[in-house]
Structure 1
Amino acid sequence: MTHRQFLETGVARLEYRLTRPAHSTGPVLVLLHEGLGSLDLWKDFPAQLAEAGATPVLAYSRQGYGRSSPIALPRSLDYLGVDGPDELARVLDGLGLEQVLLVGHSDGASIALAYAARQDPRVRGVVVLAPHVDVEPASVEGVRRTVGAYARGDLRERLRAYHGDNLDGAFRGWSETWLNPAFADWNLYPELPRIRVPLLAIQGQEDEFATPAQLETIAREVAGPCRTVLLEHCRHFPQNQARPRVLALIAEFLAALPG
């Protein structure tokens, strides 16, 4: 596996790993993790995705996660639509990436959609897993359940190995934002019609943080070609709970991208 590296963006020091399989071609797949995720929490998914797509895969921990620089709390209520995409732009610039395909999960999916709406010509397409384009009651309830698990200590201990000193900041930055009553009005409705690149949206039918309305809204509002897939017997982590199908779908999507 490629070693962990660090990128100085001028704002933060971010950990990243770029996996390049032999004879890789095509755009770099840039992975954007969920609200409690990190570089290491992708585990072996980046390596398997690189092999399945025969393309380089970049994964990094956003500021406040993993071994990246800490972040001040509270997070801005615009962190998905503004802060995350701004940071992504600094990553693309800092690593000199010219052609990319964004692959975001949950919070990372929201960031990927918001960035695609900026119409950066480097972005060839977008894949979103368990996306959020607004705040549903199911989302808030899922966060509340997660807060309970964290308070009991079991989830906290599992996450400690991945976030180290960033643990409490990462958890509070995510949970306190989603449970803030002012965040209930957050959405990506203005951004979706500005997305013109090909889009693949994947969700588990049993997603405990969202309903299929997320896929319906995306398909209805984006301007570019869009395919949505609702996976049976799958919850909020399609890349783990339905990995063979997800790898195949992304490989198909890559192969069909315009040249």
Structure 2
Amino acid sequence: MALEVIDSVIAIPGGSIFVRRWNRNSSEHLPIVLLHDSLGSVEMWREFPATLATETARTVIAYDRIGFGKSSLRTYPASSRFIDEEAQIYFPAVSKAMGLGRYILFGHSVGGGMSLAIAAHQTDKCAAVITESAQAFVEERTLSGIRAAKQHFEDGAQFSRLSKWHGERARWVLEAWTEVWLSPEFREWTLDTYLSRIHCPVLAIHGDTDEFGSSAFPRRITEGVCGPGRMEIISPCGHVPHREKEREVLELAKGFLAEFHVP
């Protein structure tokens, strides 16, 4: 089947959002919406969305959160409630502007946490959630990884690589991640308040050498949801399974959607 790639910009409260669709025009299946990680963007998904659309015969949609990629600049500091804000304010506005009915969410890293928060708020619309490398609470391993990354980006050459994807937004993007996660007020954050409200099937994928969190994260997720939950640990694999082990991620996603008869 033909795969059509469509870029658009939509207006939502607080600015404009860049959206890319890998469109399966003939597909009758629910679309998959991708939510990127803390330093991510639509472009940083690279070839994965197109492959996911082809393999699952579904339309795949990705968007840059406000302040990221090609979406509106943000000049004020990120809030420690940014996951709640995405679930309660921004994603509902994005999905309404795109005319989405029901959908499947696929989130990487903090995008996985956002996917679960959205599923808890949009119980009638979210048919399934796939997370990879999602944080469920704040581990010391998480903080150590972020401190190392912060130091890494002090090198001008490394920071320029981030600027490649975010342009003048790069400094804000970096600090929105490091300063919020390392702040004392964020130390007690967890997904627990959301998990008990999620009844749709959830697949939690995690790499065994993920530098930002242990297998305690997917275990907390799958044991905490009220619907079916499956944990899959990929080995050897770090924080970006869809890039490091793309074939395994694709097969896990396809098998999961088929097993639970997600339309």
User: Is TM-score (shorter-chain normalized) higher than 0.5?
Assistant: yes
Shift of 1:153: 2.0
Shift of 1:187: 1.0
Shift of 1:157: 1.2
Equivalent residue letter for 1:163: H
Alignment of 1:11 with 2:21, yes or no, is no
Q: What are the superposed Cα offsets for residues 46-94 of structure 1, whole Å, 9 maximum, x if unpaired?
A: 0000001000000000001001001233211111133354211111111
Partner of 2:242: 239
What number of residue pairs does the alignment pair up?
Answer: 259
Alignment of 1:41 with 2:44, yes or no, is yes
Q: Are the counterparts in 1 of residues 207 and 239 from structure 2 also a CA contact under 8 Å? A: yes
CA distance in 2, matches of 1:123, 1:11: 24
CA distance in 2, matches of 1:198, 1:219: 9
Alignment of 1:143 with 2:146, yes or no, is yes
Partner of 2:229: 226
SS of the equivalent of 2:177 reads helix
Partner of 1:194: 197
CA distance in 2, matches of 1:32, 1:16: 11
Alignment of 1:183 with 2:186, yes or no, is yes
CA distance in 1, matches of 2:89, 2:135: 18
Alignment of 1:106 with 2:105, yes or no, is no
Partner of 2:208: 205
Structure 2: gaps spanning 5 or more residues: none
Q: What are the superposed Cα offsets for residues 176-221 of structure 1, whole Å, 9 maximum, x if unpaired?
A: 1011111101111111111100000000000000010001111221
Alignment of 1:130 with 2:137, yes or no, is no
Q: Are the counterparts in 1 of residues 207 and 236 from structure 2 also a CA contact under 8 Å? A: yes
Pairwise CA RMSD of aligned residues? 1.4
Equivalent residue letter for 2:161: R
- Does 6-15 or 92-101 show the bigger shift? 6-15
- Does 230-239 or 161-170 show the bigger shift? 161-170
Q: Are the counterparts in 2 of residues 119 and 195 from structure 1 also a CA contact under 8 Å? A: no
Shift of 1:99: 1.7
Match among 93, 97, 100 for residue 94 of structure 1: 97
Partner of 1:60: 63
- TM-score, normalised on structure 2? 0.95
Partner of 1:71: 74
Equivalent residue letter for 1:99: R
SS of the equivalent of 1:185 reads coil
CA distance in 2, matches of 1:219, 1:196: 11
Shift of 1:5: 1.4
Q: Are the counterparts in 2 of residues 81 and 188 from structure 1 also a CA contact under 8 Å? A: no
Partner of 1:27: 30
Shift of 1:254: 2.1
Structure 1: gaps spanning 5 or more residues: none
Change (3 A) 1:239 1:85: farther
Q: Are the counterparts in 1 of residues 31 and 59 from structure 2 also a CA contact under 8 Å? A: yes
Q: Are the counterparts in 1 of residues 199 and 225 from structure 2 also a CA contact under 8 Å? A: yes
- TM-score, normalised on structure 1? 0.96
Q: Are the counterparts in 1 of residues 208 and 233 from structure 2 also a CA contact under 8 Å? A: yes
Shift of 1:174: 1.1
Q: What are the superposed Cα offsets for residues 130-180 of structure 1, whole Å, 9 maximum, x if unpaired?
A: 011111001111111111111012321111111012111111111110111
Q: Are the counterparts in 2 of residues 85 and 112 from structure 1 also a CA contact under 8 Å? A: no
Q: Are the counterparts in 1 of residues 87 and 121 from structure 2 also a CA contact under 8 Å? A: no
After superposing on structure 2, the runs of 4+ consecutive aligned residues of structure 1 that deviate more than 4 Å are: none
Equivalent residue letter for 1:36: L
